[in-house]
Structure 1
Amino acid sequence: MNAASQPAYSIECSQARQSPEHDQICAWLRDYNWQSNQSFMDLATHDPQFESPLLLVAKQQGQVVGGLIADQRLTWLRISIMAVDPQYRRRGIGRQLLTEAERWAKQHACRYLYVDTMQYQSPEFYQLAGFQIVGELPDWDSHGHTKFFLMKTI
């Protein structure tokens, strides 16, 4: 097909997440996923255990001093947030939270842990805990900082 016989397409720009077009695009991908990976899609739609949240809270004398927020999906535990009160950092709380998350993950048949973190958020902390860098995006924040993707087989 030469350039003269190619149909002309128009591209429309919108920031709407609720529209018939948005729904149609999602349906096309969902249909493709059903055809390509039916066993995964069956689990995703019918298994109440497909995704489970995890919240770990570290307290000292009733006061919250740190926490970890994660989600289990099948055999993966994705850590989305871990933070420790600045006054309590470097006392092993983060390490304890990570250890407890790994223990919980093993109890719930997870085989992997996953986290993404910024260059200034101490990826070395996760590496010391046995995580391996499996990817990175340079200049993720447009200010020169790299985002790291790390995983650990448990």
Structure 2
Amino acid sequence: MSQHASITLHQAADSSAPGCDLVRQWLRGHNWAVNPGFMQKLQQPEHEAKPLVLLAMADDRVVGGLFAETQLSWLRISIMAVSPESRSQGIGAALLAETERLAIKRGCKHAYVDTMEYQAPRFYQAHGFKIVGQIPDWDSHGHQKLYLSKRLHMETGNA
């Protein structure tokens, strides 16, 4: 491996430091050069990421929620939780099913989520998700982060 004698490395406080915009510009330039169709599509307002947030309510109180976003043909689930006293009553399944239905309505064909091995991988697998990747010891305490995805299916029959 060769080294350039005049290179020095500097740690910046965050990605707003001088020079960081130039690095982002180089990456965007590369992406435009090798995948212009995708980059053009991302520039169109109708292809911006759109939030998809559902709350499950019982007696005027929140008992669960799912936070996601849709972009292009993908649904990305970022957070889903159900109150401890309301678990195992189908609330999570209802949240997921409605989120998938709304995502399909928005044109999504796929969904993905990441979860820790002690959180909900079995839940997602029971709902058709497959593990597509993992990072061992992600939390530095021996637990894996799992990445799961699913092909969303359009419902058949009358709407």
Considering the TM-score relative to the shorter chain, is it more than 0.5?
yes
d(CA) in 1 for partners of 2:117, 2:97: 22
Greater helix share, 1 or 2? 1
How many residue pairs match? The answer is 152
Deviations 1:45-93 (CA, angstroms, capped at 9, x unpaired): 2233331110011001111100000010100000000011111111110
Percentage identity across aligned positions?
A: 45
Given the two structures, how large is their TM-score scaled by the length of structure 2?
A: 0.90
Match of 2:37 among 36, 39, 63: 39
2:79 corresponds in structure 1 to 81
Given the two structures, how large is their TM-score scaled by the length of structure 1?
A: 0.93
Match of 1:98, as an amino acid? L
Task: After the TM superposition, list the runs of 4 or more consecutive aligned residues in structure 1 that deviate by more than 3 angstroms.
Answer: 5-8
d(CA) in 1 for partners of 2:53, 2:29: 33
Q: What are the residue-to-residue correspondences of 1:21-100 with 2, within 5 Å?
A: 21-100=19-98
Match of 2:149, as an amino acid? M
Q: CA RMSD in A?
A: 1.6
Structure 2 SS opposite 1:104: helix
d(CA) in 1 for partners of 2:104, 2:12: 43
Structure 2 SS opposite 1:105: helix
Gapped runs of 5+ residues in structure 2? Answer: 153-159
Contact 1:43 1:50 (8 Å CA) reproduced: no
Match of 2:123 among 121, 125, 134: 125
Q: CA deviation at 1:6?
A: 4.8
Deviates more, 1:29-38 or 1:138-147: 29-38
